[in-house]
Structures are given as structure tokens and as C-alpha cells.
Amino acid sequence: MVNFEYGIAEQLPNAKVLIVDDQLLNITLLQKILAGHYQTSVAHSGEDALKMIEESAPDIILLDIEMAGINGIETCRVLKSRPETKNIPIIFITSFGQHEDLCWQVGGVDFISKPINPKTVFNRVTAQLTLKFQRDKLLELVFLDGLTDVYNRRYFDSHLTKTQLRAKREQGDYALVIIDIDFFKQFNDIYGHIEGDKVLQQVAHTIKTTLLRPCDFVARYGGEEFAVILPDTDLRGGALVAENILNNIAKLKISHNYSIYQYLTVSAGLATFKGLSANESIIKSADEKLYVSKQQGRNKLTF
């Protein structure tokens, strides 16, 4: 039996627990149980909680049911309906006689009955936090590229399929940009693989920070290739973004003696969904454009 150590236990003390309750006595008691173990914050109503969560998402929520204004059940419904908050685990604090079925129905992961037993609260919170951190870590390992910290090819494939289905359904458009570092084999040969790895990180970071909308997406597509998906974007809009990426990478002025430009550059190919002929793949189309950029001297965008 192999014991994998992912450092979940070290992460727990930084966990953020949001206590949502309208009664000071309950709040004080819950805070006392969790203080010294986790970072706690308090919301005094459902409305308060929703506002706070929008600003900073907690790792877990302890949610009272009976509150003035929107009650706990409704608060949970709202959180579960939003993509940004739907994965935050919610533990309900229930009074005797309240419908536990409802807690499960709206997506609670657990409930604790009043009067509160401190050990039960602490152990249930810890169990759910551990599960959450394990799940986050697993998703990170499965879907992020370890070197560059952008999404990996696996996630790209599913994200592209989703974007394409949406564009088809809504008769909208989207753009795909494939970006490939120029003369990167020679960069490694001259400066070494460790410097090469650093360049991959810098290029990934530059692409990420050039993208302006939260829906814009970048993944490491292959060794020294990145793919950018821009939803609701036509050829003109896509070209603007791609040009910005090329410029921002050139502006890094990373020395590259072998390159005709003397510094590191990338080439790109751009295709849009609406620009495809029948049954043509957008990847193939963007790839063909990338090839033209390489042929025409690199540090270029073709669309």
C-alpha cells in the first residue's frame, strides 16, 4: 500500500469557514469550537452571506436555517445555482423538527442538529474540508499543466467541445488561436532546458495576462504550443487578441541568439468557427495558419 502525501493536513489551518447565523449565542459557540483550527468569518443573515461570498469565497459554509430575510434553504439554493459558488460545501445547522430532507434536496453536504455538540461540529467540518481539499488537488493534478499552471490538453479538449456545442446551439462564433514558440529547440540547445522551462512559464503567464475576459481560456496544447479559446469572438476580435499576445511576448525581450530577431518570439494561427468550411476542424484550420506564419518568417499571425 502506497501512502501518497499531498499536504492536505498542512492546508487545513488556512481553511476559511463562514458561519451564517442570526443569533449571537450560536455564532459565539461555533466560533469558539473552530477558533485556533480554522479562519472563521461571520454573516448575520442570508443576504449578508451572499454579499460576503461574492467578494471572497470560503472553503466551507455553516448555515443556519431559520433567519429573517432569506432563510438558509433559500441561501443555499442561490449559491448552488451560481457556477462560482456551487462547489462550496454547505453544512446546515438544524433545529429539532426541521426537515432534514430539504437540506439534502437543496445540496447540503451534511447537517448538524441543535443543541450543538462541539466535537460533532469540529469533526464534521474537518471531514468536509479534507474532502474539499482532496477534490481540489485532484482536479488540479488532472486538468492543470504542472510546469506552466495553465490548463492542460485534457481540459482543453473538453472545453473546446463545450465551446463548439454552445456556438452551434446559439448560432454564435468563437475563435481559436494556436501559438508556437519560434526556434525553441535551439533555445534549449543554447541556454539549456532549465532556462527553456522558465521561458514556457513566462510565455504562459504573458498569454494569461493578455486575455481580458474571464471567459477567455488558455491551455498548454503540446510541448511548446499553447491554445487560446475566445468565446463570442469573430476573426477581427480574435486577430486583435492574438496580435497583443505576439507583441507582449516580443516585449519580454528574452535573448535568443539563434533567432533572426535576436530575442524570443512566437508564431500564431487563428481560425474562427464561422470561418470553417463544412466538416472542417477548427484545430486543423488554425494549425494550417500557424504553418503559414512559420513559413513566412515567424513572429507572425496568420488568419
d(CA 81, CA 224): 38
Shortest Å, Cβ 182 to Mg ion: 6
Q: Which of 22, 145, 173, 287 binds Mg ion (CB under 5 A)?
A: 22
Catalytic site residue from 5, 54, 140, 224: 224
Residue pair 156/286 in contact (Cβ under 8 Å)? The answer is no
| E strands present in the chain | 16-20, 39-43, 60-64, 90-94, 110-113, 174-181, 217-222, 225-231, 266-272, 301-302
Q: Which of 64, 173, 182, 287 binds ligand GH3 (CB under 6 A)?
A: 182
State yes or no: residue 71 binds ligand GH3 (CB under 6 A): no
Shortest Å, Cβ 65 to Mg ion: 7
d(CA 255, CA 183): 12
d(CA 28, CA 86): 27
Q: Which of 38, 133, 184, 273 binds ligand GH3 (CB under 6 A)?
A: 184
Among residues 100, 225, 91, the alpha carbon closest in space to that of 150 is found at 225
Q: Which is nearer to ligand GH3, 141 or 147 (CB)?
A: 147
Grid cell, residue 200, equals 514556457
DSSP 8-state code for residue 117? P
Shortest Å, Cβ 17 to Mg ion: 18
> Binding marks (x or -) toward Mg ion, 169..208, rule CB under 5 A?
-----------xx--xx-----------------------
d(CA 208, CA 219): 9
Grid cell, residue 70, equals 432569506
Q: Which of 180, 217, 268, 271 binds ligand GH3 (CB under 6 A)?
A: 180
Q: Which of 166, 197, 201, 262 binds ligand GH3 (CB under 6 A)?
A: 197
Shortest Å, Cβ 211 to ligand GH3: 22
Tell me the catalytic residues.
224
- Residues of this chain that interact with ligand GH3 (CB under 6 A) are 147, 180-186, 188, 193, 196-197, 200, 223-224, 294, 298
